[in-house]
Amino acid sequence: MAAAMLALGLMLGMALTGFSRITVRKAPTYKYYTAVTVRADDTLWGIAQEHMTEEYSSIHAYMKEIQEVNNMKSDKIYYGQKLILPYYSSEQR
């Protein structure tokens, strides 16, 4: 009986693993950049939260990329400062 259960489990497992090969195609995404001007009371965290797209693994990863693109050594921003923000879109422009 145990051998039959094991054999059935192996057959089901093999049958179910076949489904993992099904791929779902997502629309292609394109990377773009936009510029924003820092307003009074803005923070880099807040700007990142407002503009981050789902392709980024975390808010920290997105903030790091903003800092790299803008040659920033810290997360300090200033009123009137222009920032370049990366983002992704499925629309090709």
Residue 64 has pLDDT above 50, yes or no: yes
Q: How far apart are CA 7 and CA 19, in angstroms?
A: 19
CA dihedral 71, 87, 56, 25 (to 10 degrees): -150
Q: Domain for residue 67, yes or no?
A: yes
Our count of domains for the chain comes to 1
**Higher-scoring residue by pLDDT: 11, 63:** 63
Q: Domain for residue 72, yes or no?
A: yes
Q: Domain for residue 12, yes or no?
A: no
Other CB atoms within 10 A of residue 9 CB: 10
Residue 66 has pLDDT above 60, yes or no: yes
Domain encompassing residue 49: 27-89
CB-based burial label for 80 (10 Å; 0-12, 13-18, 19+): exposed
What is the C-alpha end-to-end distance of the chain, expressed in Å? 63
CATH number where 47 lies: 3.10.350.10
Average pLDDT, the chain: 85
Q: Domain for residue 19, yes or no?
A: no
Write the pLDDT tens digit of every residue in 20-60.
677 777 778 999 999 999 999 999 999 999 999 999 999 99
